[in-house]
A and B are shown apart, each in its own frame.
Chain A
């Protein structure tokens, strides 16, 4: 078996045909992790013993002819998704030793299918960041060029898949945290329709934005994993009713005015070539006017910190996690949170506290909510005339480790094209589309497609056509 090109779909066939067993496959990944992950640091913890046990159980199930699409498939799980009895730290000191007391709904679904869990992957602390450098446990390196970041916040999941250290992975996407690392690592990443995949058991960051989704090598694999984890869940209060995937027509819109500035030339050229390939493949590409998109990033950096500051109030040193001893309860809170949270998390909590504070909430938070509705309306209007909207996933290729760590605004700009679908709740996929050369290394570049609510079917169809055209 060649792990560097193996897909879930191919592994399924091979497992069912008994070409190799899940145990052999799992062992191959465990060996690869041992060989490569010292350098890459995609994983915070590898569960080789339990993974082998899960693989053996999967092999028995396969032998009985009872295999589901993910039975025996070795997966990596982002460190902010709960697996009962396992440490889930969100790459934060404040939860360094926290063990989950229940399974996230997505984990329950994967366990029912008999998937194999290889380990938990590194991330920006509490999913805040675009490079995985904000992990309390050290950065992850991009397998395509180890002097560069893998993107973030699901950088560990992306590097695990692109580095052949997992067949596929789960990540979470609040403003691009699945798609941007997928783009930087040369794999497929899907941000699912808000409400399609249960958030139960995902550590909340921006609750109106967060979604769990797959990081995979191919579009087909993304669909397989998406089908396995989606579905209505009464444990998530904003869960959508189940819906069938529909494929719609062949009109792709491009908000040209929004892309005029700030895009790397190489990324732009990959984007244009991909559009040309779509036209050759029978698609119509047309401009769409979405006048409020330039405000998406500022809106995001109000809404997200506001939700962060409320969501992270739960980490207080009382019920679980780190607790710093002090004389008064106030000091227990302030010291625990001061020691437990890293700089970016603290920054966002403070910004969120500001934009929600009395006297400023109208000008910031409520205004941002209004503009968010305008952005949502821009998408609705655009989808009256097009089936999907194309954008670069990120404005540039993977950057050097340390390049943006001292400039929070430069880091935020990394999300300029990826935050808009989260604000609108609509699905978006990043699919590998080409590469740019930097320092004699080929750096992958992704192409982003945004669909209407419940529009994953259309995204898969177009993304597959892009895959085929390369």
Chain B
């Protein structure tokens, strides 16, 4: 089923820098792994709808903690900050 996988495009989608050397290796490894997992295509039929044992259950949005008590702790982990903000490179830029 898989003939060629564009690993460079995947790496770009995954925001992952990959060296040329690794790229060459992955271009062999990933199709081999996909070839292995593709065996599930042979399975036909489907299980009836099963009610899952666990579902995502969200907490009630109540009793918030006092604003600001975790700010310093969390911000101190940030690689770069400006005051009480996490500093990042410009996200939007004008086209050159």
Contacts and interface: CB of A to CB of B under 8 A. Distances in A.
A319 B55 CA distance: 29
B40 A371 contact: yes
A238 B16 CA distance: 30
A347 B36 contact: no
Contacts of A335: 17
Interface in B40-96: 40-41, 43, 45-48, 50, 53-59, 70, 73-74, 77-80, 86, 88-91, 93
A318 B33 contact: no
Given A101-B74, A318-B86, A425-B54, A368 B40 contact: yes
Interface stretch (A38-46, A47-55, A324-332, A390-398): A324-332
A338 B57 contact: no
A194 B54 CA distance: 8
B53 A453 contact: yes
Contacts of A363: 1, 41
Nearest to B52: A425
B15 A238 contact: no
A408 B29 contact: yes
A376 B17 contact: no
Contacts of A327: 89
A213 B58 CA distance: 24
B16 A334 contact: yes
A5 interface: no
Contacts of A330: 15
Which DSSP category, helix, strand, loop or mixed, fits chain B's interface?
A: loop
Which of B1, B32, B34, B58 has the most chain A CB within a 10 Å cutoff?
A: B34
Contacts of B55: 238
Given A238-B56, A373-B47, A425-B53, A299 B40 contact: yes
Nearest to A100: B77
B22 interface: yes
A237 B56 CA distance: 5
Contacts of A71: none
Contacts of A99: 77
A87 to B, nearest CB: 12
Contacts of B70: 101
Given A101-B77, A318-B86, A298 B38 contact: yes
B39 A354 contact: no
Contact of A320 (B11, B14, B56, B77): B77
A392 B90 CA distance: 54
A318 B78 contact: yes
A409 B89 CA distance: 39
Nearest to B90: A329
Given A238-B56, A368-B40, A329 B77 contact: no
B37 A301 contact: yes
Contact of B58 (A237, A329, A332, A333): A237
A332 B7 contact: no
B33 A334 contact: no
Given A295-B40, A347-B26, A354 B16 contact: no
A373 B49 CA distance: 9
A98 B10 contact: no
Contacts of B73: 101
A349 interface: yes
Given A320-B78, A363-B1, A351 B16 contact: no
Contacts of A98: 77
Interface in A205-237: 234-235, 237
Given A313-B15, A329-B91, 12 more contacts: A99-B77, A101-B73, A299-B37, A318-B86, A328-B90, A339-B17, A349-B16, A357-B10, A364-B34, A368-B37, A374-B47, A377-B48
28 contacts: A237-B58, A295-B39, A295-B40, A301-B36, A302-B37, A316-B15, A318-B79, A318-B86, A319-B77, A320-B78, A320-B79, A323-B80, A328-B93, A329-B90, A332-B88, A337-B17, A347-B29, A347-B30, A349-B16, A350-B11, A351-B34, A354-B5, A357-B10, A363-B1, A367-B40, A367-B43, A368-B40, A453-B53
